[in-house]
Structure 1
Amino acid sequence: MRVLQLIDSLEAGGAERMAVNYANGLANRIAFSALAVTRKQGILKEQLDKAVLYTFLERKRTIDFKAVSRLKRFVKDNSIDIIHAHGTSYFIAAMLKIAYPKIKIVWHDHHGGRSTQKGYKNAVLKMASRFFDTVMVVNQELKAWAERNLAVAKVTYLPNFAVRDKVEEKQTTLKGTDGKRIVCLSNLRYPKNHALLLEAFRDSGLHKKEWSLHLIGKDSQDDYSSFLKRFISDNRLDDSIFIYGSCSDISNVLEQGTIGVLASVFEGFPVTLLEYGMAGLAVVSTNVGYCGEIIQNEKTGLSFTPSDVEMLTAQLKRMTDDEQLRKSVSEALKTTIRESYSEEIVMNALILQYQNILNAKQK
Structure 2
Amino acid sequence: MRNNILIIVDNLAAGGAQRQIIEYLKLADKNIFYFKVVNLDSDVTILENDIKQIGLEVINIRHKGFFNLSTLFKLYKIIKYEKPAIVHTFLFTSDLYGRIAAKLAGIPVIISSVRNIDKWQKWHHRLADRILANVTDKITINAECIRPYLVNTKKLPKEKIVTIYNGIDLNRFDNLREPKSIKAELCISDKALMVGMVSRFSEQKDYDTLLKVAQEISKEREDVYFVCVGDGKLKPILDSRFSIRPKGVLSEAEGRDTRNIKFTGLRSDIPDLINAMDICVLSSHYEGCPNVILEYMACSKPVIASNVGGCAELVANGKSGFIVPPGDINSLKDKIVLLLDDKELRLRMGKEGRGLVEAKFISQRMVKETEGLYKQLLNPKIAYILSQFPETHETFILREIKALKEKGVDVKIISLKKCRDRVIHDEAKEFIKDTIYADVSVLRIACSVLSKPLRSLGALGYVLRSYFGKPWEFVKAMYVLAECLSIAPMLKKMRIKHMHSHWATMPTTAAVILNKLTGIPFSFTAHAWDLFIDCDGLEEKINKARFAVTCTGYNKNFMGYFCNNGQADKVYLNYHGLDLSKYVGGQGFKESRNQESKYVRDPQSAIRDTQYAIRTTQYDKISILAIGRLVETKGFEYLIEACGMLKERGIDFECFIVGQGPLEKRLAYSVERIELKDKIKFLGLQTQEQIKKLFSDASVLVQPSVMAGNGDRDGIPNVIIEAMALGVPVISTNFSGIPEVVIDKKTGILVQEKDSNELANAIENLHKDCYLTDKIIKNAREHVEKKFNIDTNVRELIEIFRSNGVL
CA drift of 1:84 comes to 1.4
Residue 203 (structure 1) aligns with: 216
Residue 727 (structure 2) aligns with: none
Match of 2:194 among 181, 184, 190: 181
Q: List per-residue Cα deviations over 1:226-263 (Å, max 9, x = no partner).
A: 14532554454442111122222222322222221100
Aligned residue type for 2:240? K
CA drift of 1:29 comes to 6.3
Matched, 1:56 2:56: no
Q: List per-residue Cα deviations over 1:122-141 (Å, max 9, x = no partner).
A: 12222222221111112223
Residue 308 (structure 2) aligns with: 288
Q: Is the 8 A contact 1:260 1:282 kept in 2?
A: yes
Residue 102 (structure 2) aligns with: 97
Residue 75 (structure 1) aligns with: 79
Residue 343 (structure 2) aligns with: 323
Aligned residue type for 2:113? H
Q: Is the 8 A contact 1:181 1:214 kept in 2?
A: yes
Are the structure 2 counterparts of residues 11 and 243 from structure 1 closer, same or farther at C-alpha, using a change threshold of 3 Å? same
SS at 2:89 equivalent: strand
Are the structure 2 counterparts of residues 296 and 75 from structure 1 closer, same or farther at C-alpha, using a change threshold of 3 Å? same
Are the structure 2 counterparts of residues 267 and 67 from structure 1 closer, same or farther at C-alpha, using a change threshold of 3 Å? same
Q: List per-residue Cα deviations over 1:168-212 (Å, max 9, x = no partner).
A: 999x84342336221101111111111111111222347723211
CA drift of 1:283 comes to 1.4
Match of 1:333 among 342, 350, 353: 353
Are the structure 2 counterparts of residues 73 and 22 from structure 1 closer, same or farther at C-alpha, using a change threshold of 3 Å? farther
% of aligned pairs identical?
20
Partner Cα distance (1:72, 1:26) in 2? 25
CA drift of 1:273 comes to 0.2
Aligned residue type for 2:164? L
Aligned residue type for 2:165? P
Are the structure 2 counterparts of residues 37 and 175 from structure 1 closer, same or farther at C-alpha, using a change threshold of 3 Å? farther
- In the alignment of these two chains, the number of paired residues is 359
Q: Is the 8 A contact 1:169 1:249 kept in 2?
A: no
CA drift of 1:108 comes to 0.7
Structure 1 residues not aligned, in runs of 5+: none
Q: Is the 8 A contact 2:4 2:85 kept in 1?
A: yes
Superposition misfits of 4+ residues, deviation over 6 angstroms: none
CA drift of 1:146 comes to 2.5
Aligned residue type for 1:13? G
TM-align CA RMSD? 2.7
Residue 243 (structure 1) aligns with: 263
Are the structure 2 counterparts of residues 4 and 235 from structure 1 closer, same or farther at C-alpha, using a change threshold of 3 Å? farther
SS at 2:119 equivalent: helix
CA drift of 1:152 comes to 7.4
SS at 1:253 equivalent: helix
Residue 353 (structure 1) aligns with: 373
Q: List per-residue Cα deviations over 1:104-147 (Å, max 9, x = no partner).
A: 211111112427x5522212222222221111112223223333
Q: Is the 8 A contact 1:41 1:56 kept in 2?
A: no
Partner Cα distance (2:258, 2:98) in 1? 45
Deviates more, 1:46-55 or 1:65-74: 65-74
Are the structure 2 counterparts of residues 250 and 128 from structure 1 closer, same or farther at C-alpha, using a change threshold of 3 Å? same
CA drift of 1:96 comes to 0.7
Q: Could you state the TM-score of these two structures normalised by the residue count of structure 1? A: 0.89
SS at 2:63 equivalent: coil
Query: 1:67-216 maps to which residues of 2 (within 5 A)?
Result: 67-88=71-92, 89-114=94-119, 118-148=122-152, 149-150=155-156, 153-163=159-169, 173-178=185-190, 180-205=193-218, 208-216=221-229
Matched, 1:299 2:319: yes
Partner Cα distance (1:293, 1:29) in 2? 33
Aligned residue type for 2:95? Y
Q: Could you state the TM-score of these two structures normalised by the residue count of structure 2? A: 0.42
Partner Cα distance (1:14, 1:235) in 2? 36
Are the structure 2 counterparts of residues 169 and 140 from structure 1 closer, same or farther at C-alpha, using a change threshold of 3 Å? closer
Match of 2:281 among 250, 261, 282: 261
Partner Cα distance (1:29, 1:279) in 2? 32
Q: Is the 8 A contact 1:137 1:143 kept in 2?
A: yes
Larger RCO, structure (CA 8 Å, separation 6 or more): 1
Are the structure 2 counterparts of residues 201 and 83 from structure 1 closer, same or farther at C-alpha, using a change threshold of 3 Å? same
Residue 276 (structure 1) aligns with: 296
Partner Cα distance (1:217, 1:27) in 2? 32
Partner Cα distance (2:31, 2:291) in 1? 22
Residue 44 (structure 1) aligns with: 47
Are the structure 2 counterparts of residues 120 and 360 from structure 1 closer, same or farther at C-alpha, using a change threshold of 3 Å? farther
Q: List per-residue Cα deviations over 1:13-58 (Å, max 9, x = no partner).
A: 2222222223333264643122211024232224324322211122
SS at 1:91 equivalent: helix
SS at 1:41 equivalent: coil
CA drift of 1:338 comes to 0.6
Partner Cα distance (2:165, 2:276) in 1? 27
Aligned residue type for 1:265? H
Q: Is the 8 A contact 2:36 2:58 kept in 1?
A: yes
Partner Cα distance (2:58, 2:331) in 1? 45
Structure 2 residues not aligned, in runs of 5+: 244-250, 382-491, 494-807
SS at 1:214 equivalent: strand
Partner Cα distance (1:274, 1:5) in 2? 23
Q: Is the 8 A contact 2:283 2:327 kept in 1?
A: no
Match of 1:7 among 6, 9, 20: 9
Partner Cα distance (1:29, 1:263) in 2? 41
Q: Is the 8 A contact 1:165 1:249 kept in 2?
A: no
Aligned residue type for 2:48? K
CA drift of 1:334 comes to 0.6
